[in-house]
Copies of this chain bind each other. A is one copy, B any other.
């Protein structure tokens, strides 16, 4: 556990007031699952908000129990002396609205019915996700912060910089895009179709049933994994190797099939099919270019400086899409650093290639380091806060 934040607990807070969503619908009694690492200073300006991608959770670093075999999903990047240095910064990671890891989502209890929302959960957007995160940020007493995110997390970071210019001083967008390509929407649509046509989907109201739409969710995940790896990475990892020898049947034959089947199978144990629907829809919808007329106009709303990182083998969110952001930021007169890192890992690289990212991000964040480390600001007491073990 060298340079680890060690044992951490996922915390939960609840907000009773109603929030108005982009769709015009509302949600109330929202719960947010979050973890924090490091100490918030008196000024409340040494915070870093880490925004997660499609299927991750609040547990970004350290271990929730001594028995945990794996640390949080971005443990390589968060900790003492790491890219996001807990000796200097107060790092916040929260599960997104619509998720299934402790923050209100379609599997949560609908306060109006006492049963899980299911298909009654309203469609949400990246804007809604950020709106809910803002409640947590205010609750924690943060005044100024860095926002960082990879993939869909990058969309949240972008939205933060546009929507809350007074809060966000620095934005780091990794392996992301200002909006999905038609092809990326198409992949998401295939995944959603697989879930919706699963025999156990039951129009999204499956929580009280014996079976969930696991087949559909597994297929959606398989499609996802094809897009997360690049063709070369698949070739290197699996080639055309058989798991054993040709079966002459329709079971798992090639190694790559075995990999996808495994990824699909383990995914259904940790993720909710409805959350997959809602979150991919939020990703598809995000489009500040359309909203503001141009990406340049969108970024003009911001007071942040930016670091854009992409990976040469990422074909889901391409270098070209990162360059589109860079061009718009320059056009908007913003301070922007940009680098395309070499990696064979495709879109997954943002989770894997921590060494190069660490070097760049550590240097970039020098300007955001607090002058001196001061005591933690007390958590305000006007909101419910409680602590649970992870997985509840």
Contacts and interface: CB of A to CB of B under 8 A. Distances in A.
Main secondary structure of the interface of A (DSSP, over half): helix
A122 interface: yes
A250 B196 contact: yes
A68 interface: no
Nearest to A251: B196
B181 A234 contact: yes
A309 to B, nearest CB: 21
A130 to B, nearest CB: 17
B226 A186 contact: yes
Interface stretch (A32-40, A215-223, A298-306, A364-372): A215-223
Contacts of A73: none
B23 A192 contact: no
Interface residues of A, number: 54
B222 A189 contact: yes
A182 interface: yes
Interface hub of A216, A219, A235, A264 (most chain B Cβ within 10 A): A219
Nearest to A287: B240
Interface string A175-195: 000011111011101101110
Contacts of A183: 226, 229, 231, 234-235, 256
Given A235-B181, A254-B189, A290-B240, A198 B196 contact: no
Contacts of A285: 246
A123 interface: yes
